[in-house]
């Protein structure tokens, strides 16, 4: 099995690229947000625990998210691997993922990191909010908070994965529209074909 992490700041194009990567490499895309919603909808024990926390306005703790990721690994057998999106977000979660994979006799295949400058993050999130009508992303201070949280909590993973020799960075801003998206995609394919 292959295990990839799709990494980058909000608005970097992870969701856009994930669709093509999943198809090309026969991977199961595991977006933590989607997994959480799925577990809640299915009424699983983990889903009930997560729903109670979310309803109370609390963050879902690492062990609940990790349990859901492990459930997904155990559930999908007809794929060549997994593309994790939104997990891990912290060093602690990254260490837990390494342990989870080691128990399975597996290891991480690679981190596919899409990088874009903060100004581009801002513009893309604001545009997406307008197109999708996402009220939560309309306010500048909300967007800035998401960017600040990414830099403080998630960005330290870059060094963590560089030290493991698993980190592969791509420029996620290769021009506007479909042409730019395709340029980014082709550069990712070149690297992933080797992993």
Residue 31: φ, ψ to 5° = -95, 125
Concerning whether 89 is annotated as a catalytic residue, the answer is yes
What six digits make up the tokens of 84?
Answer: 């994790």
Candidate list 104, 134, 139, 153, residue with the active-site label? 134
Concerning whether 14 is annotated as a catalytic residue, the answer is yes
Concerning whether 2 is annotated as a catalytic residue, the answer is no
Concerning whether 185 is annotated as a catalytic residue, the answer is no
Candidate list 14, 28, 124, 185, residue with the active-site label? 14
Candidate list 28, 146, 166, 185, residue with the active-site label? 146
> How far is CA 48 from each of CA 41, 42, 44, 87, rounded to the nearest angstrom?
9, 9, 6, 20
Candidate list 2, 49, 51, 89, residue with the active-site label? 89
User: Contact 102/164 with Cβ under 8 angstroms?
Assistant: no
Of 182, 185, 193, 166, the C-alpha closest to 5 is 166
Q: CB-based contacts of 61: which residues, under 8 Å, 6+ apart? A: 53
Candidate list 37, 49, 126, 128, residue with the active-site label? 128
Concerning whether 174 is annotated as a catalytic residue, the answer is no
Catalytic residues: 14, 89, 128, 134, 146
């Amino acid at each position: 099995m292959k295990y990839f992490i799709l990494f980058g700041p909000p608005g970097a194009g992870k969701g856009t690229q994930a669709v093509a990567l999943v198809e090309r490499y026969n991977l199961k895309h595991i977006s933590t947000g989607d997994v959480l919603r799925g577990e809640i909808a299915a009424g699983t024990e983990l889903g009930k625990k997560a729903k109670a926390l979310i309803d109370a306005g609390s963050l879902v703790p690492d062990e609940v998210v990790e349990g859901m990721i492990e459930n997904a690994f155990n559930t999908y057998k007809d794929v060549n691997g997994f593309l994790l999106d939104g997990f891990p977000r912290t060093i602690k979660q990254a260490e837990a993922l390494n342990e989870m994979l080691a128990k399975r006799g597996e290891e991480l295949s690679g981190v596919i990191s899409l990088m874009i400058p903060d100004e581009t993050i801002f513009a893309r999130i604001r545009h997406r909010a307008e197109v999708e009508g996402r009220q939560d992303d309309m306010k500048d201070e909300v967007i800035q908070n998401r960017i600040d949280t990414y830099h403080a909590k998630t960005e330290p993973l870059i060094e963590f994965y560089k030290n493991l020799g698993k980190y592969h960075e791509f420029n996620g801003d290769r021009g506007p529209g479909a042409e730019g998206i395709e340029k980014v995609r082709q550069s990712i394919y070149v690297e992933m074909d080797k992993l």
